[in-house]
Amino acid sequence: MGGKTDVWQGTLALMTLKTLETMGPQHGYGLARRIELTSGDQLQLNYGTLYPALLKLEQEGYIRSRWGTSENNRKAKFYELTKAGERQVKKAAAEWEQTTEILARFLTPVEEA
Amino acid sequence: MRKLRALMMRLCGLLSFRHGDDDFAVELESHVAMHTEDGIRSGLSPQEARRQALIRLGGAEQTRQAYRERLGLPCLENLRLDARYALRQLRNSPGYTVTAVLTLGLAIGANTAIFSLVHAILLRQLPFSDPSRVMTVENGMDAGLGFNMDSKSITASFNEAAGSFKTIENATMYSSIGANVELGEGSARRLKAAETGARFLDVLGVTPRLGRGFAPDEDVPGKDRIALISDRLWRSGFHADPAALGKTIRANGVYFVIVGVLPPQMDFPANVDVWTPTVFDQHTSLREAGAYISTVLVRARANNSAAAVRAEVNARAANSRDQGTAHASEPPPDARPIVTPIAAELTKSIRASLLMLSLAVLFLLAIACSNVAGLALARTAARRREFAVRTALGATRRRIIAQQLVESLFVAMAGGASGVLFANGALRLLYLFRPAALDAFQRPAIDASVLVFTASMAIATGMAFGMAPAWLAGDADPGDALRAGTSHASIRGARLRKILISGEMGIAFVLLVGAGLLLRTMANMDKVHLGYDTKGILSFSVALHGEPYISKEGGNPAISAFCKGVLDQLDRIPGVTAVGAVSSAPLDTRADMLLPVMAADGAQRSAGGAPRVASNGYFGLMGIPVIEGRGFSSQDNRTNPRVVIVTKDLADKLWPGQSPIGRPIHCFWYCDASPRVIGVVSSNRRFGPRGDAISEFYFPTAQQDWTYFTFVLRTSGNPAELASSARRAVAAVNPSQPVYDLETMRDRLNNNESLLRFELFALSVFAALSVLLVLIGLYGVVSYTVTQRTREIGIRIALGAKREAVLMSLLRESALITMAGEALGFAASLVGMRLLATALFGVTPHDPETLIVVGALFLLVAIAATYLPARRAASIDPMQALRIE
């Protein structure tokens, strides 16, 4: 599967939350495909890791789930953001931006004075 | 916060585990289906599309496992599995389970029973505010804290002295006495009362539950006729009616107005029902003739320890001695003041016994623990294939150890639960043998804190005996074990078991020596010549109060008439062979007063003696021999010359080497008519076998009034059966007189020795249990050895070893284990038995006979435990033994 990046632990949660924020309620499979799509197929998601991650978010109260019917008329579990989840997306996104910004400063070559 | 929420959800997940798991299976299925549909749409064959979908999922089973672990808590999940596995294992070996649970149950039960005593007595929260600041002061006279009879105003000088201490906030005196109490019209009941200083409640920090306490000035004449009553009396006598306040009660003939009811927890002094303020300056009303012992009670100022109070009291006493102002008749300077915190003072009679028994039950628990550890070790050895297989299949060492510990904990918990049941029975049994000292405390019960103690003890026990087997289980080398040879683990296990048994023997040895020493003490006490009979004698007391019986100059005929009347009535009871009366019988708990007695014939010798009155016939009835002169007769009355009978030791002190008959004596209060000695009786041990005789001098009841009597009657039958007849006899003379302390002389003697009896009983039971456990343990070890060595023994016998030699080698091994244990126990006894020293009588803590007997007994036990399995070993048929594997 060369060329594609595995997802880091921790970032998957943020991706999931962000995706749910933009897309609204999604089932697990749709969510996985959506994340891959958003990454421009740069990410290779091990779908099996998505479900424990979703369960963790649900246990933490950021998302909730209910059973519904998929576009193909199939019974599926849909996940959606809770109020706490909406706050968490903003907070985590801000943190992430800050982190990458700081890291970028280190990685960008600085011209010596 | 989020973490906590997640944890809670996972805990819930643990409960609804199956549901969540099934849910996920459906979700996963729909995921795979959707993915497969997408694959088909992009042109894959259905099979290939499904294959791809599963690959991208990373394996359906793995995903489910990951999900499951997130759903619940893996460690708890493991615990649940371990628990189920442990229960199954325990069910599969009922022999081990039952033995282990019973063994631990007995030991934990004994601990629980003793702990509930300790909890109710030593750990009791006293119903006083800040009880650590309340202390008693003995011998405080030189420091000004005492009953100063020289002072013009005892109360004032006491309060002044108390107020001058830097470390003392408040001080009071009290004295507890018996009282005939009438609550209204009707017959009196005999209760315990306390005469206290007005500040008594302030010193203790107790507030009445109803009404008020004493005001600071209510221990002066005219204001002192008030009383506080106990919650108990308020309920039994006034039906808990608040209108009891203001009612008048009569105690020892004096009227008191009830001003308050004390809270139910307030039981100080023990079993008192009526508290009245005392006018120390006068002989207050409640007092009965005889000794008056007042105890000084102080409350230390905040942040002052008992040590600080002790230092100041000692310094004050030393100072007053230096200045020569110490109380003149005070005993020699070595009677230094003693300051004791109230909790220690209240428990001093029983503390040492309880600590000794606590230690004994801990010993018992150690033995039980090591026995069960031995059983568990054998089980581990037998199960080493199981552990090996599990290890080979990938179980980690940690998992195997954890699983074994869970099993041990289950056994221990079951042991703890059965222990509570045992303890309940044991407490009842202990209470049958309860010492008199226990009556001052509330009855121990198995309450919540005792249960917490038992539970923690069970868990600690499970850990203690589970550790070694678990470790060895985790040690099992799969290759080694599966090859079915004798593994290192099992050899190490066997060695460990032998060491454990030696240790057990050492401990049991100590317990048995303790019980043996107490048994010898008991036997020695029974051998002591008391100087009076205790068989076939019933005794009871009556105290006379009120106007008809007031002491008068020259005698009150009503008093001697009462005494004579009761004696006549008693004499008429069928089966009674002799009757008598005395002011204070042997084994009476009433305090004694020693008066100086002088030889009044110019010899000028004096000695201390206790004054008494006795009826004619008393000495003969009690079996107190008259060794010179005569006893009292009916002729010794008011009209004839005054006479006195002295004990032998008093006669020897006053008239050494001479006959005292016919010589006059002098003393305070009772000797105005210069009574002459008419007889000498032998001395008696009135305090029981451990006490020495005291000097006594007796006046006849017909010549000297005394307001309390102990009547004694002798019968050829069972004296206890005469109790109701005795009550009727008193009622026939005066129905309003309460009869108290109605008991046989034998019972009095038993009460006197009740603490020893209690210790002996408890320690014997614990020692017997420990020996039984050791016997079982040793038997187990030897049987196990024999089973393990069947092949080896078979080969030996096949090669020509004599069967006796096999038997002997096993016996020798047991003997070695036993000797090691005995050496250990011997050394421990030499140190440990000092704890018992104060309880012993006529036997030293290192009594060689006891040590030898116990040592021999253990060898016998060892031989008994070894013989059966050893004989089995010696009778092994070599052919069969070799065919076993």
Mean pLDDT along residues B754-773:
90
Query: Which segment of B300-304, B433-437, B525-529, B855-859 scores lowest on mean pLDDT?
Result: B433-437
Q: Do A61 and B5 touch (CB under 8 A)?
A: yes
Give the number of other CB atoms < 10 A from CB of residue B640: 12
The tens digit of pLDDT for each residue in B53-65 reads 888 888 777 888 8
Tokens of B427: 């407490």
Q: What is the pLDDT of residue B361?
A: 93
Confidence of residue B331 (pLDDT cuts 50, 70, 90): very low
Q: What is the pLDDT of residue B149?
A: 66
Higher pLDDT, B685 or A44: B685
Chain A: which residues have CB within 8 Å of chain B?
A: 27-30, 33, 46-49, 51-52, 55-56, 58-61, 70, 72, 74-77
Which is nearest to B598 in space by CA: B706, B695, B694?
Answer: B695
Give the separation between CA B226 and CA B298, rounded to whole angstroms: 23
Mean pLDDT along residues B333-352:
84
Q: Do A72 and B35 touch (CB under 8 A)?
A: no
Q: How far is B30 from chain A (nearest CA, A)?
A: 6
Among B202-216, B267-281, B398-412, which range has the highest average pLDDT? B202-216
Q: What is the pLDDT of residue B870?
A: 86
Residue showing tokens 């800040």:
B130
Confidence of residue B615 (pLDDT cuts 50, 70, 90): very high
Mean pLDDT along residues B830-857:
88
Mean pLDDT along residues B237-266:
91
Residue B683 pLDDT exceeds 80: yes
Q: In terms of CA atoms, which chain A residue is nearest residue B30?
A: A76
Residue of B30, B32, B37, B38 best to disrupt the A interface, most CBs of A under 10 A = B30
Phi first, then psi: what are they for B735, rounded to 5°? -70, -15
Q: What is the pLDDT of residue B279?
A: 66
Rounded percentage of chain B residues whose pLDDT exceeds 90: 36
Give the separation between CA B854 and CA B811, rounded to whole angstroms: 19
Residue B433 pLDDT exceeds 80: no
Q: What region, left, alpha or beta, does residue B416 occupy, with left being phi > 0 and alpha being psi -120 to 50 degrees?
A: alpha
Give the three-state DSSP class for B319.
helix
The tens digit of pLDDT for each residue in A5-30 reads 555 666 888 888 989 998 889 888 88
Confidence of residue B837 (pLDDT cuts 50, 70, 90): confident
Q: At a CB cut-off of 8 Å and minimum separation 6, what does B565 contact? A: B732, B733
Domains of chain A, residue spans: 5-112
Phi first, then psi: what are they for B723, rounded to 5°? -55, -50
Q: At a CB cut-off of 8 Å and minimum separation 6, what does B375 contact? A: B96, B99, B100, B780
In contact, B825 and B508? CB cutoff 8 Å: yes
Q: Which residues does chain B have within 8 Å of residue A51's beta carbon, measured at their own beta carbons? A: 24, 27-28, 63, 66-67
Give the separation between CA B533 and CA A98, rounded to whole angstroms: 100
Residue B487 pLDDT exceeds 70: no
From first CA to last CA, the distance across chain B in angstroms is: 62
Q: How many CB pairs under 8 A join A and B?
A: 72
Confidence of residue A1 (pLDDT cuts 50, 70, 90): very low
In the predicted model, what is the mean pLDDT of chain B? 86
Residue of A12, A31, A45, A55 best to disrupt the B interface, most CBs of B under 10 A = A55
The tens digit of pLDDT for each residue in B193-246 reads 998 888 999 999 999 999 999 988 887 777 788 999 999 999 999 999 999 999
Which is nearest to B107 in space by CA: B441, B507, B519, B513?
Answer: B507
Q: Do B9 and A59 touch (CB under 8 A)?
A: yes
In contact, B40 and B46? CB cutoff 8 Å: yes
Q: Do B2 and A61 touch (CB under 8 A)?
A: yes
Confidence of residue B187 (pLDDT cuts 50, 70, 90): confident
Give the three-state DSSP class for B725.
helix
In contact, B121 and B444? CB cutoff 8 Å: yes
SS3 content of chain B, % helix, strand, coil (to 5): 55, 15, 30
Q: Which residues does chain A have within 8 Å of residue B58's beta carbon, measured at their own beta carbons? A: 46-49
Q: Which residues does chain B have within 8 Å of residue A70's beta carbon, measured at their own beta carbons? A: 30, 34
The tens digit of pLDDT for each residue in B697-754 reads 999 998 988 888 999 999 998 998 999 999 999 999 988 889 999 999 999 998 888 8
Q: Do A61 and B35 touch (CB under 8 A)?
A: no
Q: How far is A103 from chain B (nearest CA, A)?
A: 28
CA dihedral B695, B700, B705, B709 (to 10 degrees): 70
Give the separation between CA B822 and CA B817, rounded to whole angstroms: 9
Q: Which residues does chain B have within 8 Å of residue A48's beta carbon, measured at their own beta carbons? A: 57-59, 62-63, 66
When CB atoms are compared, the residue of B34, B59, B63 closest to A29 is B34
Q: Do B67 and A51 touch (CB under 8 A)?
A: yes
Which is nearest to A29 in space by CA: A56, A51, A5?
Answer: A51
Q: Which residues does chain A have within 8 Å of residue B35's beta carbon, measured at their own beta carbons? A: 29, 47
Phi first, then psi: what are they for A112, rounded to 5°? -75, 145
Radius of gyration in angstroms for the set of CA atoms belonging to chain A, rounded to a whole number: 16
CA B347 to the chain's CA centroid: 10
Q: In terms of residues, how long is chain B? A: 885
Phi first, then psi: what are they for B155, rounded to 5°? -60, -50
CATH architecture type of domain A5-112 = Orthogonal Bundle (1.10)
The tens digit of pLDDT for each residue in B283-305 reads 555 666 555 678 899 999 988 88
Q: Which residues does chain A have within 8 Å of residue B22's beta carbon, measured at their own beta carbons? A: none
Q: What is the pLDDT of residue A3?
A: 44
Confidence of residue B191 (pLDDT cuts 50, 70, 90): very high
Q: What is the pLDDT of residue B1?
A: 62
